[in-house]
Structure 1
Amino acid sequence: MALSAADSSGNIVTQTSTVRTNIPTGTTESLTVGANKVVDTKGDTFKVFVRVAKDDKSIAGRSVTLNVNDPIGTGVTVSQGTAVTNSDGVATFDLTLENGANVNQATLESGIRLTATTTTAENVKLEQNYIVAVDTSTIESYQLIASSDKPTLTTGGDQTQASFIVTDNNGGILTGVPVQLSIENLESSGAALTTSSTVVSDSSGRVDVGVLLAANSINARLNHSVVINAKIVTPQYDIDGTVNMQVREQKSLSLSAIGTTLTLTASEKNLKDNSTTSLSSTLTDGTGLAIANAKVELIDTDGNLIASDATATTDSEGKASFTVNESDLSFDSNGNLRVFVRAVGERELTTQRSTSSIDLVKVSQAGISFIDIEDVYDVNMAQNINIQIRTNSVAEANALIGKLLEVQTTIGTFANNDVISTQAITAANIQGNIITVPVVLNSALAGTAVLQATVLGEMNNGQLKYQTTVDTRFRATTPAKILFQAVRSVITPGSSTELVATVKDKNDVPVEGQTVVFSRASDSSAGRLSAATAITDSKGQARVVYLANASSPINGVTLNARLLNDPNNIGSKSTTITVSKDAVYTTLTFANKISSDDIYYTVRGSISVMDGSGRAVPNQKVSIKSYATQYAQGRVCLLDSTVTYQAADIKEKDENGQDITTTPEPKVFSEKSPIFLQSEWINTEDLNYNYTLDQDEDIDKNVDANGNIIIGNKQLDPINPVAIIGGTVSEDGYTFITDDEGRADFEIRYPLRYSNWVKVRFDASTFVNGSENTQSINYQLLSEVNDSSISETSLVTPWIDNASPFGTGGATCVNNMSVSVDANSTNAYPRGNTTVRLSPYQPSYAVSINGVGPNTQSQGYNSYIVDFNQAFELGATLGIVSNGAGFTRTIKVE
């Protein structure tokens, strides 16, 4: 080695030296570790091999030690911790994994960590770490599947059966798993379990639990939710042996406790200055019994008390009375106060607000009101309703002559057979400073109708001057028929099914408030009913549960249902149930993808048949039928839309601490896209599903070229456009046969032009021991998104004239839409402004954003303009309806 150096004068001197290094005295031995298999975490034995070598040559007779890094958490032990290498330099160890309660699944999932140690010939400790792979598919993972015999409980006392099935991630059942059960908010729910709080899954992986709803508190008797929580908990050990309970899986089952009704009436709704009115409420539970000693309150639409003394307590008949003075009430700008009644449970744990309201009117205040609206009307009877407009003077009243009064309803139609009535105010409507405009409303449907009256174009400070909203209710009152059925006609011993009695009038309108009596006519299963009576709800349905005991012959259980009061002599209706261990069930499903050949769409479907324990049933015959149940009218339009979004100014401080304001650049986004202007779903004309247009069934509505509504078109709407094809069928060429996995696959095919506009019901049925089980599913015929495209300025779709095959229903396209959001428009409107322009102009537009209606409407050049006194955020939903057909769009700028 040469070394060089320089002196201060820059002269370099070089000298050669010799350096000698010492050879290290460490080791060149090595350890190599391996295992003979991937270990099953359910319990397994395996071998680990440790080879000792030097310069790749085996070392025999060497002692090797093998340790498990976490023997408690993995459950792994070594039979003998020390072994001697053989002639190949390999030491063999036998290990065992026992899956006990101490095993930490998370630790085991990452593998079994081992350490092999030996001492070399040079007395150096040699160590090697190794991880044995485990089969992660065998690591216990839990899933809980929840179900119940019925989704609702009747307030006033009821019960049902709930089930939780324990499976692994692959759907296989797990037996012997402890499941912890609890009821959420126990005090307010008023519910109890019929089992202990911990139940072990049975041989079918099931945990069955009865749920009882008591009637011992006001909280329990008001409408509320009953939530049953189930969770699987296993112990987890720390390194020091401390045990912690780990929640591995949890599931909640929510049941609705319903049936309690809360009504409100008023002795006088039109209040003069300083006058008083008496209001009365009635509170009854789902069994029709009065709820006494309950606190009730009169509240406005925001949930606030209408007056400081607007509270009372129900008496033994569930009634409460209030007396309020006009001077204590706060009316809106039109002199209206919408009043609801609210019932409050113990410690205010549960509350229930009435579904309907009454409208109090301050007659001395200028404004608009429904002056004589009733709480309840009968269906199929024309009702006269008056809208009153109160002005400050005769001159103001006369100035409204010729202005348009628009009235809208959510149920029923007006005299023009439409949900919107628009008529001009005339001199005949005026008496002094009061304007009274009558409308006629009729409904064939039962339910709550929300009515809105507006004088179009009359503004005050940027808002509609005359606008009000009330609600009323239509009901059927005269029962004419009872339909009675069991939700499941074949059940297994110990299980249950819901019984549903539906009461309707002569026009098939549901009749609510009727008491139905249930009984067992014959019962070889020796089962029981959850209740003897139930009251029909707004759907006309009364429900109880039948709980089976032992097996029965086919149709061995006969159940009856009748009206408690039956003036029309409807009589008793019966249904039968089979309690059998051989019960089978079907499920029906369709794929989420469709295929097309330019003429038809094709969708794959499958029927699965299972026995009472959830196991697949092979070689089972199953049939499927299809019925067109509903159709829609409308058209597909090409919408050219533009969104301009001006974000709010950004206020901040500069480096000198001075306030600065930055206005973001406005974002503009334009696109052309197809939109569906679709009507509400219309029920089929083929009410008896005989595929024939019978007499009096041709009732569909169409619009001719002049805009006139035409009833009937001499054809059955809708036809059933679906063909069921493919699959493995039996000798009859009709029924399918399930394969080894208990499934029968098939396809449905339908023409492109019927997609999106038709709903079809499919019934899959199978038989066992002469009893039938049917699974039904309602399916909207889908279309392929890519089949609708834009070619320059034209829209290309699978539908003729881009319209429903059942007519447009009067739907008119929206060609252009612009949305302008300005968060900086805060002078007139502190929360900014949003403007929507639609063209071509139509007077029947109804526009909303996130469910909020506009503050003003106006007309531009062939355009309809609405303004909102707030700047909506990006992502808000814009809804547009015209002539009963509508669409929604998301406000976005990308």
Structure 2
Amino acid sequence: MDINLQNGRKMKHLFQLTALSTALVVAGCGGGGGGGFYGPETPTTPITPTAPLAAPNSIAVSQSKATLSTGGDSITLTFRVLDKNGGAILKAPLAISIANLANSGASLSTPSAIVTDATTGLATVTLTLANDVVDYRINRNIALTVTSTQAGVTATQQLVIPTTGTKLTLATNSSTLTAGQSAQVSATAVDGVGQLIAGATVNLLDSAGKVIPGIASQKTGTNGVATFSVPATAVPASGQLTVTGQLVGNVDTTITQTGNNSVTLTASIPNQAITFLSSSSALVNINTNASLAVQVQAATQAELTGQNVTFVTSQGLLSLTSAPITNIAKNASGNWVGTAETTLSSGSPGTATVVASFGKNTVTGNVQIISTIPAAMTLQSGTSVLAPKANTTIIALVKDVNGAPVSNAVVKFAIATDPSGGSLSSPLATTDGTGQASVTYTAGATSTLTKAISITATVTGSAGGAVVNGAAPVTLTVAGQSAYITISQDNTVVLVDTAPTYYFKNFSESVVDINGGAIANQQVSVSLVPQSYMKGYYVYDKTASLWEQVVTATCSATTSSPFVNPVALLSSTASGASLNFVTGTQGSFDYQIRYGKNYANWVTLSMNASTVVGTNQTVTGLSITPPVLGTDISGPVNVAPPNAISPFNPIPKPSDFDPTTPSGYTAAYLATLHTCP
């Protein structure tokens, strides 16, 4: 028997298969010829046969929300184990594991091994994120693996739950440095519930994402602030240094988070003729005069006497655009120096870039202008519908009379009505440079009527004493809304005349609520993730008149780099490894997968589907091995199927062929079919 190989050679079949044997187990009682034991004929209770255990095919997951807030939070996970027809398996075993458990800060409300309900087929677990270790308060991902093993089959579902909300913000007291000067850079760390993070390790990174040489990491104090001194010598030859903060785990240093903003430090050229004397990066209120002073230098007094320095600004008004040089005197180095001053005011917040020029020499500085007198406020929430015990962010946006954001305003939050018994992370928050202040609301355990929860806010400015009460309250609803996704497939492989090298297979998905009602117009994200691939070949069984697959090795696709996904999702308008679909009026949609015929039965993928209903994220998955067309493996011995040789087998070199062996290959080459990279 010959098999056509990719390189055009033929491979003799490696093994002679015997006929497949079928073992039949026959159960009987009594009777038969001679020697049998017969007991008294007494009535017996009929025995009800035990139903065979259903094999799990996939695990559907519903999440009460998509993310966890750093600083302490919890999420409810609801599981259903599905059979190959999409039906829920009752009393199915489940095992849940958390990756890097010791450093994750996550814990389960139940033992890691649970069983789905005997009536509903559901199993519910609460995942809680602690906040007693700095590492737990850094944004990262928590990975879970959920498995169900029954009837000799294991279904697996991977979950990745992001933890979000922590912010690291930088500020500096000076953006322009002359020789010998240093800038004080502060980094403030706040977690997802608005609490300052003390004892956190902070690094300063340059624009390339590298730790700035010579700047040691610092710990945040009880005020959540770490302070660094950055000398002018740290600024590169380009004259500018862009600085970003980085949080690093104290226990697990691989846990890191890049800061939310950056500051730029500019170094003046040593001994240049003009430098800024005033701190050009100090915060200045709108409509307030900010003093700007520069020092100029020359070899003689005559070069300074009667001369002016010109000023130009990108924002606001200058009191003098050409300021006289005064206070002319000789310094310790023997050079003559003098000063020139002007003031800057602006009616709107922002960053004013000021350029001062003396002759052919210029210097640039930045002035941060802020508004601190509030005139209006709007209130909003991250979501309007929450699951019981879930949380959302309540955001106040404070503006001045001109509609500009107000900084450093204190906002007071309060719960007006809440039948669920929820709570706020803090009653107070201070606006940032964008005019936003936020707190976290956590719902109680009880569901409510629509918009039954009302949260209000008032604001008092840091200057002027103005109080704004005009923001409309935020209204929220607590509801245990859940959804489930079912992935279905037929048992056929489709051929398309215009694509003769491909197989196609039909799939459909439906989204239903907890009562089984269809959810229409719901967006669902579907993706294909390779999990494993197989090496091997097909041999012909003459007795069965069938080509049989021989798998010599099963290798992980997740550790192969890179692994090219050979299977694509197809919609009516697009193709790819990940696509978005929208359910129709019946809460379902159809699609196909496409794969090369030579890849059939040689790769296993996880088909993942996810959707968000209200605040609940539902995730489900199906493990698939794209099949071969039945007629392609039932052909005669002289017609090999298109997938006769695994495309993942190593391509043999000339030295791998050995005509003296039954297979036609060397033992060394055959050994490669049994190993993974």
Normalised by the length of structure 2, the TM-score is 0.47
Which structure is richer in relative contact order (CA contacts within 8 A, separation 6 or more)? 2
Higher strand share: 1
Q: Which has the larger radius of gyration?
A: 1
